[in-house]
Amino acid sequence: MSAHRAVGLLLGVVADGLVGEPRRAAPSRPVTVLPEAADALARRIGTAAATTAVTAGAVAAGMLAERVTGRHRLLRTLAVAAGTWSVLGGARIAADGTDLARDLESGDFDTARARIAAADPRCTEDLDLPGLSRAAIEVVADQTSNAVVSPLVWGAVAGLPGMLGARTVTVLGRRPGMELDIASAHSADPVARRLDEVANLVPARLTATLTTAAAPVVGGSAPSAWQAWRRDTAAHPSPNAGRAEAAFAGALEIRLGGRTVYPRGVAELPVLGAGRNPDAGHVTRAVELSRVVGLCAVGVSAVLAGVSSVGRRRRR
């Protein structure tokens, strides 16, 4: 087994859980400065070129870190751990999701609307409790795939370069003003959008699989998660987001998706799941489900790291 990579991923996950996401104005992790760097560069060379340059820089940084640490296993383990912590979003998902559930339980809808608007391009002004709960759960499901499962999978199979590159294109494709507007199928950064879609094709489906398996842990339904994932995502305009969201909907036995208002218009998205409308309690359970899926992803990543290590040795 590729011990340094597997142990490094585990240490990064532990650091994410222990350190958490400090509540301060300054960026707490390197990944948070990428949007600003890309925007500054875009003003000079254009959006597409800036996305390519920043992504290439992230991949190059990972390659350099692996080359510098060389055959020093302890240093390589620490480098993987630091890289994992720098891009992982588990602590942020848990913190934001918990805050959202608290806002909804207390009836502070204005604060909940502001939190969701900061994480998702949809319009939130007219959302009521079910609409806000639905949006919160969709954000939790989507971010679990993009900010937890995806970095771990790419770190396991492609090391630091893969992890940093994949997380970079996701962050750049979803930065404020650049997100895909599903209502018009438009993105201000189509390069980042396409790279993001490719990078998350496998992680999104793995997230749905793990969500199905983890559903009973939070009192959910694995059969419903499987049915919603397989039945409801074919008509979703995103090749990735609908998978995790549908699995979460089925696992929690609620309905997500449906009519969604964006700045450029209204999108009639497919209804995901077949249960009741969600409420604040379901947001709390979604956060718990996200945590369990993240833990499962750690185990899967360790196995993938071992398989990729065996493959490299055989090629040599």
What's the Cα-to-Cα distance from 95 to each of 26, 62, 174, 223, 287, rounded to whole Å?
17, 28, 19, 29, 9
| pLDDT of 25 | 43
More confident residue, 310 or 73: 73
Q: Among residues of the chain, what percentage have pLDDT more than 70? A: 89
pLDDT > 60? residue 27: no
pTM of the predicted model as reported, rounded to 2 decimal places: 0.91
The 10s digit of each residue's pLDDT in 173-220 is: 877 655 555 544 555 677 888 888 899 999 999 999 999 999 999 999
Q: Which 8-state DSSP code applies to residue 217?
A: G
Euclidean distance between CA atoms 247 and 230, whole angstroms: 9
- DSSP lists the bridge partners of residue 259 as 268
Supply 172's token pair: 């750049």
The 10s digit of each residue's pLDDT in 32-44 is: 788 788 888 888 9
Euclidean distance between CA atoms 184 and 60, whole angstroms: 34
Q: Which amino acid would we find at residue 34?
A: L
pLDDT > 90? residue 297: yes
| pLDDT of 315 | 55
- Planar angle of CA 95, 99, 105, nearest 5 degrees: 145
Euclidean distance between CA atoms 276 and 274, whole angstroms: 7
Over residues 236-251, mean pLDDT: 90
Euclidean distance between CA atoms 173 and 231, whole angstroms: 27
pLDDT > 70? residue 157: yes
Supply 213's token pair: 């398996």
Radius of gyration of the chain (CA): 19
Euclidean distance between CA atoms 32 and 297, whole angstroms: 23
Euclidean distance between CA atoms 57 and 164, whole angstroms: 9
Euclidean distance between CA atoms 181 and 76, whole angstroms: 40
The 10s digit of each residue's pLDDT in 83-107 is: 999 999 999 999 999 999 999 999 9
Q: Which amino acid would we find at residue 223?
A: P
In 3-state terms the chain splits into helix, strand, coil percentages (rounded to 5) of 75, 5, 20
- Please check whether residue 209 is in contact with residue 244, taking contact to mean a CB–CB distance below 8 angstroms: no
b/e code 57-80 from CB counts within 10 Å (16+ = b): bbbebbeebbeebeeeeeebbbbb
